[in-house]
Structure 1
């Protein structure tokens, strides 16, 4: 008997070890994504037993709103008896639904949050559904545009993508969010057309949308050809022989004529000097012997990137045929839109390599240089690899002050009635053609104005000098005695300035200039001071 009781006790203990202390709810949700006011709400879930299930609904303040139950759950799952939504949800807001088994307390149950918006009730999601920003797009007619819509929280599974008010032909993959559209000619043939629509993503009761604008660029429009009109018969005038001007006198034919064009286009003072002194030439190009660039084609909009026309020419057969037929006067599309045509590379050049690599080999490897010179005798290594050869261009000044003209690269004195020389010296010696005035002018134009340091000095000196020199010159004209006094005073200064004619470089201008200043300080300050001191001392004795 005792043995039987012992066996029964051991078996009972083993059975209790296999059975959990109490069943619990392991998950709970709504059977549908949401329920409207006209529907019955139903909760489903799982548990680790078969106990009776209770679901209590409370508002956000903890007030009891009602209870649902499943008195006969299946093993491991449950499904409560549905009840009308209006029994539990009276006002908009957040509610808590807690599921627990008969042997549990409510506080130990499984709780989910619900939201009632006045029309329907649904689970408050843990993650917020939101689309990443989609920038506006631009596309050409008959070109495919594609992008992929995505959400900020990648943990949300299986979002559904769709379009609203999208243009005809546009599609989006509901699973991946990939958008694809190829606008037809009719969708952008008249002018640039803007298509505004929404990209929408949904997940359960959540929804988000992103507005986007796609601009379809206008297809090219062939210009209207005006009808040809027969010219009126007129008596032709006798032809006039054009005057052969030749190259302008200031042009050094050993230099690149383009350097003169660049100065004309980039230096306002140089441009004014040319326009004033060489009006007989139609342009700077004619003066230096270059052919003036051809004007842009009539269809080119200068506000647009000219490369866009080249891209269309290379990628659209109809556009290429239209251009070739209507604009045969241009050598290429590059010339028509004002771009420099790309250089044609030699056959041995790999376009994926840095062209400088070939130049370095040419300069550093004698065998490579000999091979290139023998194989390509008509071009340089720079031309072969598409680089511009570096040129050392000597600085050309090309302009002189009033009273001098540029002749063979030097400023020489001319008879100029407009004046403009040294005001005091001109008034002192009576004429701009006086040797003393010519000396000052030549030093200014040929020495000082041909160096950077000299230009800087003259800029500051002119501001100071012309603040008082007109008054001194007027006083000289009114008083011959004062004029002679000034002549005596500036003669030593002119003698010392003649030294400056030997200065040619920046350093020489600076060195000779300092020497001249020191000599004049000695003559005009030191010597008079010594004389005055000696005189006063002699008088005392």
Structure 2
């Protein structure tokens, strides 16, 4: 993170040569269908060029879980370093994973959803697997019955059909869903026999079942007496429905008839017996029938909140509902419960909303992050409470600049106040504008996961912090006041960040020492030897 100001022109020329071309991530997925808790998981995908790729994982509430990266991508592809499932996933639920390059930024990256059920990790499919309703059927002994089970979403391919509890001899084609069965005499010889079983379809982690009953008619049926032949009467022509019906007094409110139908059993029976040609009482009185609440897909034996949770956590279920039940204003209306006030994605409903407001009012970096991410709402709107009439007193702004984490402004100068835990990387945070930047998080993960987990790494960090915090607050202040200087620092520390990523491979004491020495030698070459060679060569040519 140190900058050598002498020879800056030569260093800039060197970095321009090694700066990667602009490239975006275009696709991403898990490398296999699922991973168990004792496996290492990884992501693969495609990009437009050849650039380092970062993958950041958040849980359903927007809380940062961790980051993976690919330090050696191939042209047009990437594959991040495998990590243990248990390192990132502890709680069951839905997670978001976003892949992006340094030039692309996280907001323009590719995001997929993952689900962890406590035993395995898998990618959430973008479809809802559901069988069409299958009507009950009947068949005679030694006659073949055949039909094809189908899916509501006909675009789904590679689904696998099967049977559960089926009668002997019944089969279904696993790829097409065609059912075939020829019952024998022993399966329905002297009386009707009912066979109830399930037709099952599977794809990935999804499964759906549809129950069907097939009646096998008895083999012998006594012939009915032959009816006397009579001249058939002509069928009457269908009458056009009169709307409103004949019993409706148009001077009365049509709703009064609906209320009687719903509240008086005798009136309901009279209408059903005498006006069966009408689809409903609403049609008979000329009113539009209101929405069915709860909707037809809702099982009233289940908790309505379970449907809301699936809508909020499963992208494929949300798309299915929006496409097929657009007449409802929301999932809450469809299942018959009151819609709560919407909270921002990062808010944990189990926490006191005042926690977020206090952070907003007291932490400058948190306030800046919120204002940039949610410019159209206030912190009170985000956490779902009403803003008090008396506003909170504003925080006093520093006299000049803004001090980073682990420092405070004393007499106009940023000084270290607590570096017992190593603090934050002040120079990198000031360079990239936020402690949530992937580069800053990469440094933090190397410190916590590699260096602080070994004796040699921890000893190095103790000495390094004493040196680093003696000058980093001053450089961070200069960066915030001088954009040109900040860009120069960004260019200068890019090789350092790239080389430090090698330490993410170190998992033991000896590997930390070996990789650490290699990184130090590499940076001595980049920051000292290369500029010195360029300067000497340049002076030689100038003399000539």
> TM-score, normalization: structure 1?
0.38
Which one has a bigger Cα radius of gyration?
1
